[in-house]
Amino acid sequence: MTDDEFQRYAATSTATIRRAAYRLCGDRHAADDLTQTTLAKMFTAWPRLGPGVNLDAYARKVLLRTAIDEGQRSFRRRETAVGELPPVAAPPPGVEDVLDVRAALVRLPPGQREVVVLRYCADLSVAETARRLGCAEGTVKSQAAKGLAALRGLLAVRSRPAAA
């Protein structure tokens, strides 16, 4: 299937896709984004689509999957509006705080320390951390959870005031 055929399909079907997108999300701007993403994904797959493919059904499937993906993504990064900004930003960590974290990191088991450093200090994804360490993503997740819990415990002990 050629690019010209895609352009003709997109020109005749964009309004239908946009209406379906609006019915899925209820927001005009989000529907426009879903429509664009759906058409972009279809354009990518266009050369692989054969002549017997029901293009409208394929477009609906792509739109639905895109809407589900976007819905999951927006759920994770939903912003919360507040009435006023806080008066003062949180101060940057001091030298003592950095030294406390480093000392706590050293006390972690090597596997947990590697995962925590790669995930949260080097800001790598779970998949990239797993690839670098040569282990499963589930291992990275469990080691990160255990390492963070251990760090919280170690840092809580350090931050408690001494008994009088």
CATH of the domain at 120: 1.10.10.10
Which of 76, 103, 121 is the C-terminal boundary of a domain?
76
Q: What is the pLDDT of residues 127-159, one digit of tens each?
A: 999 999 999 999 999 999 999 999 999 988 765
Predicted local distance difference test score (pLDDT) of residue 131: 92
Domain with 68 in it: what CATH number?
1.10.1740.10
Does residue 85 or residue 69 have the better pLDDT?
A: 69
**Residue 47 CB-density burial (10 A; 0-12 exposed, 13-18 middle, 19+ buried):** exposed
pLDDT band at 16 (very low <50, low <70, confident <90, very high): very high
Angle between helices 3-25 and 55-76 (to 10 degrees): 50
User: Hey, what's the torsion of the CAs at 30, 35, 38, 42, to 10 degrees?
Assistant: -170
- Tokens at 18, concatenated: 């946009």
pLDDT band at 162 (very low <50, low <70, confident <90, very high): low
Q: Record the pTM.
A: 0.45
**Assigned domain for 144 exists:** yes
110 shares a domain with 66: no
**Using an 8 Å Cβ cutoff, are 63 and 17 in contact?**
yes
CA distances from 129 to 27, 124, 142, 148, 152 (A): 37, 6, 12, 16, 21
Predicted local distance difference test score (pLDDT) of residue 70: 76
pLDDT band at 98 (very low <50, low <70, confident <90, very high): confident
Q: What is the DSSP string of 118-141?
A: IIIIS---HHHHHHHHTS-HHHHH
pLDDT at 54 over 70: yes
pLDDT at 29 over 80: yes
**Assigned domain for 62 exists:** yes
Which of 76, 107, 125 is the C-terminal boundary of a domain?
76
> What percent of the chain has pLDDT above 90?
49
Domain of 71 in residue numbering reads as 3-76
pLDDT at 38 over 80: yes
